[in-house]
A and B are shown apart, each in its own frame.
Chain A
Amino acid sequence: MGHGVSQFTEQELQDYQDLTFFTKKEILYAHQKFKALAPEKVGHNRNAKLPMSKVLQYPELRVNPFGERICRVFSSSRDGDCTFEDFLDMMSVFSDAAPKAVKAEHAFRIFDFDGDDMLGLQDLRQVVDLLTKPQRLSDQDMQHLLQNILDEADLDDDGALSFAEFEHIVDKSPDFANVFCIRL
């Protein structure tokens, strides 16, 4: 840990602590993890921008079917490349301490592939495909599944899930907060 201290001033750490769900120690630890992804680059410039392929080396992201999508959502340049601050944001949202509402907000953005602020059929189909790959559900099963999801959650019957509807499901889902977690 002592090594990391030199890279941040006390003020910066305080800022990060105020703006994330982490304590200062955890922030330094997160930085270590970030550094481990590309030691030479980050050693040089602590806020270096890592390409998405590097960020995806992070164990939890590597195996996550939504890994790329997560990088894109949190990347400040929208192309999946992440600076340390983006990484910290990501970890903060995925931490235990982040409230359900914050997690829901980001989950919605992750699942919303086309970025139209609605989870439409296309988005849902993509989510299911990523979840079950390499197998694929047959067209009939997929149709059936999507219909079931919409029956359950689409309260206003417009054929897509709005954020409010999504949040409602997540609120009722006993598992969501447990599952949407990456421990540092």
Chain B
Amino acid sequence: MSGGGGDRKKKSWRGTTGGEEAGGEFYQESYPGGEADMDLALPRDPHHLATLLPSKQNRNATTKHPRRDSRASLKRRTSTRSRYQTTTVRQSTTQINDIQLSMMPDLSENLSNEERMWEEIMLIKSMPISMAQKKEMKAQLQSADTFRLQGLKQFKWQRRKMWEQFKMQWKETYSKLELWKHSLKKIEGNFGTGVVAFFLFVKWLMLLNLTISAMIVVFVVMPTVMLPPAPAPPSHADPCSVFISPDNQTNNEPVYCCSTSYKLVKNRTENETFIDFVQGTGWMESTYVFYGVYPDKVLLSDLLNYNLPLAYIGIALCYFLYSLASILKGSARGFKERLIEGEGQFYHYCNIVFAGWDFCIQNERSSVIKHKALYNEIKGSLEAERRADEKRNRSREERFKILMVRVIVNCLVILTLILAGILIFFAFSYSRSELEKIEMVEQIPRYYSLLLEFAPSMCIVSLNLVVPTIFNYLVSFEQYNPIYVVRLTLFRTVLLRLSSLGVLIASFYPLLKCQIHSSDCFQESACESTPCWEVYIGQHMYKLLILDTVSSVLITFVLNFPRMLMAKHINCRLARFLGKQEFELPKHVLDVVYTQTLSWFGSFYAPLLPVITTLVLFVIFEVKKFACLVNSTPGSSTIYRASRSNSMFMSVLLVSLAVAVIPWAFSISEMMPSKTCGPFRGQRSAWSVMEATFHTFPGWVKATADFCTTAAFALPLFVVLVLSLYYYYAVAAANKHMVAVLKKQLILEGHDKQFLLNRLSAFIKQQQERHKAAAAAARSIDVPPNS
């Protein structure tokens, strides 16, 4: 038997079990009379002793016997209640669960009541026995005498049962409604759980955007559409027409006039439906998609006054907090897993072997690749271990060389990033200045101006395509281990994507700055002609989003699909080299996260952007599915593990949320909203609406809030936080220490057990031999007189 075989082998490896020479007498003294029992219980092979230990007995009782025994004997076994109870005990120890704990056998009560019986029936399903046996057990339990529950207890039990049934029903309906269930299964069958985690992530993001959209639509868009705004101030006889002329700069017109002028400016632009749709100008600008059209007034109806500006900023705050909370919730799970993983770099090999195969794989080809990938991973891990040994022995020169290479590569990466930033900045300012010129001349063909409009966005998109390839190339020089390479490349690419977005946002700033100082509604002469900078930003985000989606659709269908066809049908090495593609998870994750960043940042300036993003993500899911199932060959040399990738997604998303929120927070608190448009026209900053509302609160709320911001409150709070942090740190450290101690103890116990078992088996062998010798001696003594 392999257990015994293992024992023997292990012994020869470690060679720790010495002291065999101490004779058997010791045992005879300490266990008088035990000998006879042992002889009975012992099988022929003394090494089999281990299976007799109490720690092994429990499991034997539950799994081995029903498996081995015939059905007839099983009947007897199941009819005695005790067997079932041992199962329950084991269940409750293995699964720390309240229900299970309450199932601990209560010996004071022999007859169970209905609720208990029901609970026990519910437990049968998790037992490792065949269906026929389960059925039998259920019948047994049902036929046993039970107490009927009375009164409140009965009611509670019924309620619990109803709740369970309801949950079952819900599960059934939910599984019908579940989106993309079939696609996910198909992807899983072909690519395994790691890639499915990405698609689940896309789905999760889509639901997040759907929630955000719902919030915005319900609290911002619907009221604007349904409720009439408060009546305008007493009408002037169109005094505003005077103010629009650019030369009238000294005047400090009322906000109302600026709004009118904004409308006039909007009407000036010519109507070109498609181009306007793509750019978000013209008729698009005056839809509810953009910030500009939302009124700055309290909306009135018969029932309520609706303060739209307050709702606008409040909802923005809400959905950012909601996003943060859901990311944290998602990553908390991942974080726990990562912690476990961190502690258990320890369980690395076990994880490969016992959780290596995706049981959901159903495709011949991908199973072949999975086999290969597992083989490679095992090989790679062993190799890495060997390399780590080598690394310790690496000479100083080699170490220095690698260090130099890494420094140089990092410098190159930073240089590339800076170059990319400069390129984006120049593209932006060039397109601005050219566009201005065009507006002067007004004879350049329309498509040229469209090209210019899109220049910054296209620059960003093409950089996103090219630079990661360079990074991929550079990282191969650095001689990191494969897992670290994936992380490093991802980190660098994230840096590129987000910094390019950052540069774009930053290049808006000077544009807006000059507007803030002007007292006019807007100045066409001094600054660029942006009547409403919020809309301008919104338009840019909208354009980027559209362009990004279109480019990913085009790349998938126009570039990669023919490549795949080429690789498949042309039997030539070059074609195959050019056409073969793998589903590179990090790249696709970045695409999606980038989209989400655009949506977050743009959502304040274009409130319907999350709705668009929801649709875009829906499309992207299908596109990526195509890219995955049709374009890519399944599996790659690296195995993507669901756990690892999930925590990766969430951390990237968290960074991108920060990138979106920080400029937003700056813009609402520091920058003056444009006077011509939007819900905050005429305010010092968007945040001042919040402040104004705060001032209308009752005195004690204000007092409390004021107190909360004073040092008298903050300092003690800080101290308490630090102390509690320290406390938890200390507890964690103590626990860690305890774990180490217990582990050591466990190993020692194991050694003790091994030692004793070996001594025992040696002793028994000795005894048997002695018996044999005695018997032989007796025979030899007996024989001669007879003969």
Residues of A at under 8 Å CB distance from B? 15, 17-21, 23, 25-26, 59-60, 62-66, 74, 76, 78, 85-86, 88-89, 92, 94, 97-99, 101-102, 105-107, 109, 111, 114, 116-118, 120-124, 127-128, 131-135, 137, 141, 144-145, 147-150, 152-153, 155-160, 162-164, 166-167, 169-170, 172-176, 178-183
A64 CA / B346 CA spacing, docked (Å) = 27
Give B335-361 as 1s and 0s: 1 = Cβ < 8 Å from A's Cβ atoms. 001001100101111110111111111
A36 CA / B746 CA spacing, docked (Å) = 50
Closest Cβ neighbor of A116 among chain B residues: B1
Contact A120 B347 (CB under 8 A): no
Q: A18-B124, A99-B95, A116-B2 are in contact. Are A131 and B374 (CB under 8 A)?
A: yes
Contact A178 B7 (CB under 8 A): no
Which residues of chain B are near A105, meaning CB under 8 Å?
Answer: 63, 128
A147 CA / B10 CA spacing, docked (Å) = 10
Contact A131 B359 (CB under 8 A): no
Q: Does B406 contact A (CB under 8 A)?
A: no
Contact B353 A121 (CB under 8 A): no
A26 CA / B181 CA spacing, docked (Å) = 14
Contact A158 B754 (CB under 8 A): yes
A-B contact pairs, 5 of them (CB 8 A): A25-B172, A101-B126, A106-B128, A155-B750, A156-B754
A97 CA / B379 CA spacing, docked (Å) = 34
Contact B125 A18 (CB under 8 A): yes
Contact A63 B367 (CB under 8 A): yes
Closest-CB distance, A103 to chain B (whole angstroms)? 10
Contact B643 A174 (CB under 8 A): yes
Closest Cβ neighbor of B644 among chain A residues: A174
Closest Cβ neighbor of B193 among chain A residues: A178
Which residues of chain B are near A145, meaning CB under 8 Å?
Answer: 349, 353, 378, 382
Closest Cβ neighbor of A98 among chain B residues: B126
A18 CA / B127 CA spacing, docked (Å) = 12
Q: Does B642 contact A (CB under 8 A)?
A: yes
| Besides A159-B10, A174-B351, 9 new A-B residue pairs in contact (Cβ under 8 A), listed by A number | A18-B138, A25-B172, A64-B357, A64-B359, A102-B126, A117-B63, A131-B371, A132-B371, A175-B641
Q: A158-B750, A159-B9 are in contact. Are A169 and B124 (CB under 8 A)?
A: no
Which residues of chain A are near B354, meaning CB under 8 Å?
Answer: 107, 111, 127, 166, 169-170, 173, 176
Closest Cβ neighbor of A138 among chain B residues: B379
Contact B355 A173 (CB under 8 A): yes
Which residues of chain A are near B94, meaning CB under 8 Å?
Answer: 101, 167
Q: Does B82 contact A (CB under 8 A)?
A: no
Q: Does B150 contact A (CB under 8 A)?
A: no
Which residues of chain A are near B362, meaning CB under 8 Å?
Answer: 59-60, 62-63
B728-780 residues at the A interface, CB under 8 angstroms: 743, 746-747, 749-751, 753-754
Contact B55 A164 (CB under 8 A): yes
Contact B5 A89 (CB under 8 A): no
Give B100-141 as 1s and 0s: 1 = Cβ < 8 Å from A's Cβ atoms. 000000000000000000000110111010111011001000
Q: A109-B128, A152-B350 are in contact. Are A66 and B63 (CB under 8 A)?
A: no
Contact B347 A152 (CB under 8 A): yes
Q: Does B364 contact A (CB under 8 A)?
A: yes
A60 CA / B186 CA spacing, docked (Å) = 12
Contact A155 B379 (CB under 8 A): no
Closest Cβ neighbor of A17 among chain B residues: B168
Contact A156 B749 (CB under 8 A): yes
Q: Does B534 contact A (CB under 8 A)?
A: no
Contact A109 B357 (CB under 8 A): no
A88 CA / B60 CA spacing, docked (Å) = 24
Q: Does B56 contact A (CB under 8 A)?
A: yes
Contact B95 A128 (CB under 8 A): no
Closest Cβ neighbor of B351 among chain A residues: A173
Q: Does B548 contact A (CB under 8 A)?
A: no
Q: Choose from B3, B366, B372, B753 the contact partner of A118 (Cβ within 8 Å).
A: B3
Which residues of chain A are near B95, meaning CB under 8 Å?
Answer: 99, 101
Closest-CB distance, B143 to chain A (whole angstroms)? 14
Q: A137-B378, A152-B347, A173-B347 are in contact. Are A89 and B130 (CB under 8 A)?
A: yes
Which residues of chain B are near A181, meaning CB under 8 Å?
Answer: 359-360
Which residues of chain B are near A18, meaning CB under 8 Å?
Answer: 121-122, 124-125, 138
Contact B359 A137 (CB under 8 A): no
Which residues of chain B are near A15, meaning CB under 8 Å?
Answer: 135, 138
A113 CA / B185 CA spacing, docked (Å) = 30
Contact A176 B2 (CB under 8 A): no
A131 CA / B344 CA spacing, docked (Å) = 22
